[in-house]
């Protein structure tokens, strides 16, 4: 995990996460990346697709891997 981001899940569990839209693996967003994503509802972290085109918020410590909750570029 990136040193800018707090550990969200164990690396084993995080390694199992995939995008529900594209099937790409997800990785924790860095602090710099977090500043580029927005959503009407607050989030404390995010998981980003391997190609960096889609991100999903983390709320109350849980990744929200629902297509309609995907984050938008700022």
- Domain ranges in the chain? 11-73
53-74 per-position pLDDT tens digit: 999 999 998 999 999 999 988 6
- pLDDT the model gives residue 2: 42
28-43 per-position pLDDT tens digit: 999 999 999 989 999 9
- pLDDT the model gives residue 50: 93
> What is the number of helices (H) and of strands (E) in the chain?
2, 6
Kindly indicate the confidence band of residue 1, based on its pLDDT and cuts at 50, 70 and 90. Answer: very low
């Amino acid at each position: 995990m990136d040193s800018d981001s707090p550990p969200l899940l164990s690396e084993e569990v995080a390694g199992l996460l995939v995008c529900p839209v594209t099937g790409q693996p997800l990785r924790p967003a860095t602090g710099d990346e977090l500043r580029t994503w927005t959503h009407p509802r607050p989030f404390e972290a995010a998981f980003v697709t391997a190609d960096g085109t889609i991100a999903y918020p983390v709320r109350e410590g849980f990744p929200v891997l629902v297509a309609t909750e995907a984050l938008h570029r700022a």
